[in-house]
Amino acid sequence: MKRSLSCYIISGTLFLMVLTGVIISKRYSDSLSNTQKKLQTARMNLVSMKDAQVDMEKTIADLKAIVPSDFASRTPEEHIFIGLDELKFRMKNAEIVVTNIEYKDDEVSLPVTIKSSISGKAAGKGYASFMNDIGYLQSMRFPFFYIGSISMVQSQDRASVSYEIKGALKTLKTSEGRQ
């Protein structure tokens, strides 16, 4: 009886050791599987993060190309007046009329009316110049030029066409900007 009792004890101990080994192996296997899944997720996230970083760098480069380098060092009003000076320099033969600067939300704008005409003899050249001026207005950046309307009227003798462009020079209001 002592012998069978010792066999049972040894068998029970061996069974417990094997069972403990199986349980530890199962937990280790599950932990390894979870770690592998997390590593795969981290690798996929790394690719997504690199893509996001490339997108952010591209956006920053695009923004630097659009925003002038002195944007933060000047007030919005200064940007508006510099834009107005460039506009007057570009469109020397036009009458440019402005009104008061307006402040709306995060925007500063200066309403502008541009009046000029296209003469009969040089109408082709004048029309090309008019189209180039419209293209210039549309391409302005900081300040932007918003075109509200363009009207054209032919003279009674059909010798010329007068045009009027109503719009506004607009820029962003900065925290240091005057109001």
Q: Which of 139, 171, 146, 169 is nearest to 72 (CA)?
A: 171
User: With pLDDT > 70 as the criterion, what percentage of the chain qualifies?
Assistant: 93
pLDDT at 161: 85
Determine the pLDDT at residue 178: 43
95-98 and 107-119 strand pairing: antiparallel
Q: Supply 61's token pair.
A: 């480069």
141: part of which helix (H) or strand (E)?
Answer: none
Mean of pLDDT over the chain: 85
Length of the chain: 179
Q: Does the pLDDT at position 117 exceed 90?
A: no
Q: How far, in Å, CA of 139 to CA of 137, rounded?
A: 5
Taking the C-alpha atoms of residue 160 and residue 127, their distance in angstroms, rounded to an integer, is 11
* DSSP β-bridge partners for residue 119: 160
Q: Which residues pair with 169 in a beta bridge?
A: 110, 145
Q: What are phi and psi of 95, to 5 degrees?
A: -90, 120
Amino acid at position 44, single letter: M
| pTM for this prediction | 0.60
Mean pLDDT of 53-60: 91
Q: Which tens digit of pLDDT belongs to each residue from 139-178?
A: 888 788 999 999 988 888 877 888 899 999 998 887 654 4
